[in-house]
Amino acid sequence: MRLGLERPDRWEPLIRGRRVALLSHPAAVDRHGRMALDYLRVEDGWRLVALWGAEHGFWGIFQDMETVGDAPDPWVGRPVYSLYREGRLRPPVDLLRDVDAVVFDMQDVGSRYYTFISTLAHVLDAVAGTDCRVVVLDRPNPLGGMVVEGPVLEPAYRSFVGPHAVPVRHGLTVGEFARLYGTERGLSVDLHVVPLQGWRRRFLWPDTGRRWVNPSPNMPQWTAALVYPGMCLLEGTNVSEGRGTTRPFEQFGAPWVHPVELAESLNALGLPGVRFQPTAFRPQFHKYAGQVCGGVFVHVTDVRRFRPFRTGVAVVATLRWMYPETFRWRTEPYEFVADRLAFDLLCGTSAIRETIEALPDVPGRPSGNRPSAAQKAAPTSSVPSPRRGEGRRGGTASRPSIEAGSADPFALLWTLLDRYDRQARRWQSRSRAFWLYSP
């Protein structure tokens, strides 16, 4: 497999004679560890006039939602301009005035709310109608390109974590996203995508044979990217998504979570390709910094069957059901938006949250599969409702438990997620026109 970066015969002619801005980060490396910056600073017929940084900065050192300022680069001797700060999420006119070409080379993780594709979208918007060329050096989608999941973004929830109407797990490379976005937005852009060679849509990251370089501070390994389309939903709650630990997104919890009970309830769902292990951790920063959190570790047992978005929604629903007195939705501003809940922005709709909030207050452990008609009609058991507990640590029944003959209280949620999966697959059928790679 060859990356777009590793095909200079395809991209060098596109930038010769031009003043170039490089939008990249340290994960943009070739098989030998050479960064895109190392290629571009050679200036073989072009001038590298500026470095642009997305969220986390050009060198990938800033935490999530940490504003990044402009600064001269102390190592390369080029100015670094931030495209992640209040009032500047797209390159302004004064930055574009000295640029004839933008080279985009960033390793994405295949989720709509991972913000690198948002920055790419803003760049395309900014250069539309100008002579500035955009060259995207394509990279693999670590989650492959065959499976899609989650709601297609509703227009009312467009934001920096939802730049366009694609599913949460969209199955596109950054190059394919750029083609789709430019066309569907009707942009007049001089866009060139240098495609991968030898990559197939069925490939997951291990199939590429490449080592993982973390594209952001809390994405230290591929397994974090694998669970991210679901576990990132915890950013929209008061539950720690594991930031501030060595395994962000793969473990989650809070000081008020009982790890054994939560793991038992989640395992009882029978979600495909995953098992939940009780754990505890103490974040060094972010939510509950310095506090011991009870929680669960997400072990993916079958990467082909695992559905991260469905898993993440089930985790959030179970947490809210087991700990109604302590679980909360995030209400603080999120990714420069203050008038909509973070969870809704991530989902791209309010329907999932509203369905979780409307789950029936009945005893019964939710089942990971859709219930049968007999189950729907069956009377509920007499086990005390988990919503009466206090998010227990050794207290009385506080977790969902199902007995013979009880109905599945999560039935409406599974039905909604099934509907969104069908919607995502219909979207995928339409998006095939922008595919660059075969299965």
pLDDT tens-digit series, residues 330-346: 999 998 899 999 999 99
Q: Residue 70: what pLDDT?
A: 74
CA distance 22 to 229: 28
Sign of CA dihedral 58, 219, 88, 96: positive
Q: Residue 362: what pLDDT?
A: 53
CA distance 63 to 56: 6
Fold of 222-349+360-409: Aspartate Aminotransferase, domain 1 (3.90.1150)
Specify the pTM.
Answer: 0.89
Cβ density class 305-319: b for 16+ within 10 Å, e for less: ebbbbbbbbbbbbbb
Q: How many CB atoms lie within 10 A of CB 328?
A: 11
Please state whether beta strands 79-82 and 71-72 pair in parallel, antiparallel, or not at all (unpaired): antiparallel
What are the backbone dihedrals phi and psi of residue 194, each rounded to the nearest 5 degrees, phi first?
-90, 105
Q: How many CB atoms lie within 10 A of CB 66?
A: 13
Going edge to edge, which strands form the sheet with 293-300? 251-254, 293-300, 274-281
Pick from 95, 102, 113: nearest CA to 308: 113
CA distance 243 to 239: 11
CB 120 within 8 A of CB 154: no
HSE on the CB side for 36, CA within 13 Å? 31
> For 90-109, what is each residue's pLDDT tens digit?
899 989 999 999 999 999 99
CA 398 to chain centroid, in Å, comes to 31
Mean pLDDT per block of 10 residues along the chain (439 residues) reads 98 97 96 96 94 86 74 79 86 92 98 96 97 98 98 97 97 98 98 98 98 95 97 98 97 98 96 98 96 98 98 98 95 92 98 94 51 33 31 39 55 96 98 97
Q: Where are the alpha helices (DSSP H) in 348-434?
A: 351-357, 373-377, 411-431
CA distance 305 to 302: 6
Query: What is the residue whose two structure tokens read 């000081």?
Result: 255
Query: What is the residue whose two structure tokens read 């060329």?
Result: 133
Domain residue spans of the chain: 8-216+428-434, 222-349+360-409
Beta strands in 196-353 (DSSP E): 251-254, 274-281, 293-300
CA distances from 238 to 66, 332, 333, 342, 425 (A): 19, 11, 13, 11, 31
Architecture of 8-216+428-434 per CATH? 3-Layer(aba) Sandwich (3.40)
CA distance 365 to 405: 12
CA distance 310 to 119: 26
